[in-house]
Structure 1
Amino acid sequence: MTYKSYTVQEAQQKLEHYCSYQERCHAEVVQKLKSLNMIPQAIDAIVAHLITNNFLNEERFAKSFARGKFRIKHWGKIRIVQELKIRQISKYNINSALKEIDEDEYLEAFYELSEKQWNTIKETNPTKKKKKLFDFLMRKGFESHLIYEAINNLSN
C-alpha cells in the first residue's frame, strides 16, 4: 500500500482550506497533519503559518463552538466545557467562550427544553419520570441546581 506524500506547501494549502471551511482547534489540525504523514517539524511549521495568517485561532474556535453547541444542540455549559477540555482548549479560552452565551437566553433555552422533554416523557410513575428528565438534562450538560429547580416546577 502506497501513501501519498505531500510537500509542506501542498499540506499547507490543504490545511488552509480545511481551516477556512470550518473553525478548527489546534488538536484537530495536528491530527489532520499526522493523517497526511507529515513529520513533526513540518507540522510545527504549518501550524505556525496557520496561526500567523489567522486560519487557526483557538479563541475564535472556542467561541464559535460554544455558540453553536448551545444554539443548535442545546448543550449546557458543563457539557460545552467538557468538550472543549477534550479538545485541549485553554482555561482562558474556555472562559471567554462561555461569555458568548447570554445568561437570559441560556435559562430561557433550558426551561423550554425541560418543559418540552417533560411533556414527551410517557412515564406514568412520577419518580421515574423525574429521573428520566434529570438524566436527559444531565447528559445535555446542564447544572444540577437548575435541573432540580425545573423538576420541582414541572412536577407541581
Structure 2
Amino acid sequence: MEKKSFTFDEIKLKLVNYCVYQDRCHAEVEQKMKEFLLIDEAKEEIMLYLLKENYLNEERFTKSYIRGKFYIKHWGRNKIRMHLKQKQISEKLINKSFDEIDENDYEKTIRKIYEDYYSKQKGLKEYQRKSKSIKYLMSRGFEYEKINDIFDQT
C-alpha cells in the first residue's frame, strides 16, 4: 500500500487535531510526525506553530497526565513519574506538577486500594495478607514509605 501524500498545511492541520483531541507531549508529537515524510525545517516549523498557538504545552500535558493517571487509573507517584520520564518530561516539571494530586486524596486512595485488596486475600495468615497488599500497592506505583506512614497511624 502506498503512502498517501499530504501537503504541508494538511499535515499541520492533522497535528493540530492530534493535539486538540488530547493534551500531548513533545515526544508524542515528534513520534506522530514520523508518519509523514517531512524535512527537519518543516518539522521545526510545525513544532513552533503548535507551541506558539498553545496546542502543545508540556506543562499542561504533564498536569493533566498526572490528574488522569491518579484520579482515574489510581496510579501512585512512582508509576506516574516513570511513565512521564519515558515521555521525556523533565524531572523538574514532573516535581512541580505533582501538586495536582491532593495529599488527602492520595492517602485515601492508598487506604481504599489496600482495604479492597486485603479483603480479597482469603485463607492467608495476617502478615501474609498485609505483605501481599503492600506489594500490590507498590506495584501500582505507591511509595513504600508513604504506605508505611499511613498504616503506622492505624
TM-score, normalized by length of structure 2? 0.90
Q: Quick check: 1:29 aligned with 2:29?
A: yes
Alignment of 1:3-152 (within 5 A): 3-149=3-149
- Across the aligned residues of Structure 1 and Structure 2, the Cα RMSD in angstroms comes to 1.8
CA distance in 1, matches of 2:125, 2:73: 28
Q: Which runs of 5+ in 2 are unaligned?
A: none
Describe the shift of the 1:146–1:87 C-alpha distance in structure 2 as closer, same or farther (beyond 3 A). same
CA distance in 2, matches of 1:109, 1:40: 45
CA distance in 1, matches of 2:80, 2:39: 32
CA deviation after TM superposition for structure 1 residue 152, in Å: 6.3
CA distance in 2, matches of 1:45, 1:123: 62
Q: Give structure 1 regions of 4+ aligned residues with deviation exceeding 4 angstroms.
A: 149-154
Residues 23, 61 of structure 2: 8 Å contact kept:
yes
Residues 25, 57 of structure 1: 8 Å contact kept:
yes
CA distance in 1, matches of 2:40, 2:138: 39
CA distance in 2, matches of 1:15, 1:50: 8
Residues 66, 101 of structure 1: 8 Å contact kept:
yes
CA distance in 2, matches of 1:138, 1:75: 10
1:5-55 C-alpha deviation (Å, 9 max, x unpaired): 222211110011110010001000000010223232222111111000000
CA distance in 2, matches of 1:96, 1:150: 24
Residues 114, 150 of structure 1: 8 Å contact kept:
no
TM-score, normalized by length of structure 1? 0.89
